[in-house]
Structures are given as C-alpha cells and as structure tokens.
Amino acid sequence: MFARNLSTLAFTICFSTFLLLFVQWRTLFFCSTDSTCDAILGLRSGVFTSPSTGDVVVFIYFTLFCLYLLWNCAALVVTLRDAFEMRAFYRDDLNISDVRNHQCRQTGGGSGDCATGLSLICGCLRFVDVVCACAG
C-alpha cells in the first residue's frame, strides 16, 4: 500500500509541476478558432532562465512536496523494518510459519488449521495484526 501511495504522490508532483510550469495556459484559454489554435505549440520555453513569480511558487511547491515524498520514503523503510521484525517474531519465537499465519487469518482462528494452542493467537489476529496483546 505504501508503494502505491508513493508512486501516486510522485506522479502527482511531476505531472502538476509540468502542467503548471510548461503549459501556456493563457494562449490556450484565448484560442478561439481552429486556425489560431493550430498555430499554438502550447509549451513554454525559458522557464528556468527567466522565471516569473508564479514559476518561483511552483518551484517552492515542487521542493516542498519532494521533501514530503522523501519523508514518506523514510516512513516506508521504518514500516518495512517493523514488519520484518514482526515476521521474525512470528517465525522464530512463536514458531508460526507464514503459511499457517495466513491459514489462521482465513479461517478465523477456531478451525483445525489453528490447532495445537494457536487458536488464541489466530483469534487475536482477526482483530489486530500485532501479537503483543496475545503474547502476554
């Protein structure tokens, strides 16, 4: 889910920056006939050599949201680290394999797949993805 959010955010930043910086909106809005519209290229040049006040605002927008994107990438790394630690806890300390954990989630915790004392853990997994409440 995080990767999808990151890719959506990156696309939104790049696409909106392109639309705000490089499209000649004023000429496109005042285009009235087909003959005058065909002559319009629609893209601006010289954005970086002589930026206007609006261009500076777009650069600030781009910079701030790129920093936000980097913040989300760091949050993804922390979340993945926690997820791998939780997986190691399930696998090593509780001796619950990934397959058995998945079966327990599918069956709801009370069936034969969750026998041998795992029904309490599997029942808790229906409500909480973390075992802390069940481990104590």
- CB within 8 A of 37, min separation 6: which ones? 31
Summarised one tens digit per residue, pLDDT across range 43-58 is: 777 778 888 888 899 9
The pLDDT-based confidence of 107 (bands split at 50, 70, 90) is low
**1 forms bridges with which residues in the sheet?**
none
Summarised one tens digit per residue, pLDDT across range 64-97 is: 999 999 999 999 899 889 888 888 888 888 888 7
Give residue 115's pLDDT.
47
Per-residue pLDDT at 102 exceeds 90: no
Helices (H), 23-52: 25-29, 34-38
Helices (H), the chain: 2-22, 25-29, 34-38, 53-88, 98-107, 119-127, 132-135
Instruction: Let me know the angle formed at the C-alpha of 132 by 130 and 133, rounded to the nearest 5 degrees.
Output: 100
Angle between helices 2-22 and 53-88 (to 10 degrees): 170
Give residue 128's pLDDT.
43
Per-residue pLDDT at 26 exceeds 70: yes
